[in-house]
A and B are shown apart, each in its own frame.
Chain A
Amino acid sequence: MIPVPAWVRETFDSYLVCEFTTVKSGKPVTLPLLPFYLPDSGKFVVTSSILFSKKAENVRQNPKVSLLFSNPEGSKAGKHAVLVQGMAHADDSDLDHGWEKYLGYWRKKEPYIDAYLAEREKFGWFWKRIVVQVEPKKILAWKNGDTSRSPEVFGA
């Protein structure tokens, strides 16, 4: 687990979206995703519906990924930019229920998720979800989001 300052942990906990990048044939593919930070292990989890599964397929080809936390919209945290580079593992062994253990994290960031879950049958394939877990290898953090300066580096 890479030790980071409190403001970095707060960013991980409270930012609603991150910019998640996989690599396909040497080319980056960056998409906004809902991230979950697991404080006990320092790992991150994103989940992906099979409808939007290309990112999971990319992870299988190349496990090197990154998560950038740069958008404080909808959170009470300050504006920072924190980049996590790590190794990802995609788990599709239980598409129907494997992701449910992260519902508590999901509910915290999207309190209305239970209303969608109540209509689970309507969005059947949306709820077939791959769990992508990321183990950080290096974290770069720009306090106050000023990327014109060099970042603080953790875990290098």
Chain B
Amino acid sequence: MRKLDYHRLGNFRYAVITLVGEDGYPFSVSTDFKILPDKKIVLQKPAQPSKLDGKRVNVLFNHITGLPGGGYGDRRYMLVWGTTHEDNGSLSFEPDTMSEWDEKILPFDQYCAKSAPQGAKYLGRLQASVEA
């Protein structure tokens, strides 16, 4: 897995747990979290979903800062996939893969430039479907 920076992770205020429910819809819920000295991630257990032991989930840590004139900046997020484990009312999260963006590390224009292959791929597929 891409290395999870626990120091930067600790600067987020809350977490969003998401899993795919039995009805096929994604179910997201916000909750508090803390990082223990041994780097264990502990999530506050939400009322729903009621069963989270052994579930494959993603956890999004997202941050923006509102601007005085409206809108927002200081965008950053970490999206971490892994497994949740319930133990005596606490909910630990074992991460395995992640993706992230922090505009202070990768400015938006550079992020767009880095994503150009995805755009080209999309346009290529669209062109092919028009020609088919």
Do A83 and B81 contact each other (CB < 8 Å), given the known contacts A16-B66, A19-B18? no
Q: Write out the residue numbers on chain A whose beta carbons fall within 8 Å of the beta carbon of B52.
A: none
Cα distance, A49 to B123, chains bound together (Å) = 11
Contact in complex: B27, A66 (CB < 8 Å): yes
**Secondary structure class of chain A's binding surface, majority of residues:** mixed
Looking at B1-9, B33-41, B114-122, the stretch in contact with chain A turns out to be: B114-122
Q: Write out the residue numbers on chain B whose beta carbons fall within 8 Å of the beta carbon of A21.
A: 18, 26, 28
Contact in complex: B71, A111 (CB < 8 Å): yes
Q: Write out the residue numbers on chain B whose beta carbons fall within 8 Å of the beta carbon of A71.
A: 62, 64
Contact in complex: B70, A111 (CB < 8 Å): yes
Looking at A2-10, A26-34, A35-43, the stretch in contact with chain B turns out to be: A26-34
Contact in complex: A28, B58 (CB < 8 Å): yes
Write out, one digit per residue, whether chain B residues 38-78 have a CB within 8 A of any chain A CB (1) or not (0).
00000011111000000011101010111101111001010
Interface size of A as a range: 35 or more
Q: Write out the residue numbers on chain A whose beta carbons fall within 8 Å of the beta carbon of B45.
A: 148
Q: Write out the residue numbers on chain A whose beta carbons fall within 8 Å of the beta carbon of B119.
A: 49-51, 53, 125, 128
Q: Write out the residue numbers on chain A whose beta carbons fall within 8 Å of the beta carbon of B25.
A: 64-66, 85, 137-138
Q: Write out the residue numbers on chain A whose beta carbons fall within 8 Å of the beta carbon of B28.
A: 19, 21, 30, 66, 68, 70, 83
Cα distance, A2 to B117, chains bound together (Å) = 39
Contact in complex: B71, A65 (CB < 8 Å): no
Q: Does A98 contact B (CB under 8 A)?
A: no
Q: List 9 A-B contacts (CB under 8 A).
A: A16-B64, A19-B16, A19-B18, A27-B20, A32-B75, A70-B14, A74-B65, A109-B70, A148-B46
A residues contacting B by CB (< 8 A) are 16-17, 19, 21-23, 26-32, 49-54, 57, 62, 64-66, 68, 70-71, 73-75, 81, 83, 85, 92, 95, 109-113, 123, 125-126, 128, 137-138, 140, 145, 147-151
Nearest 4 CB-CB pairings of A with B: A74-B66, A21-B26, A70-B30, A68-B28
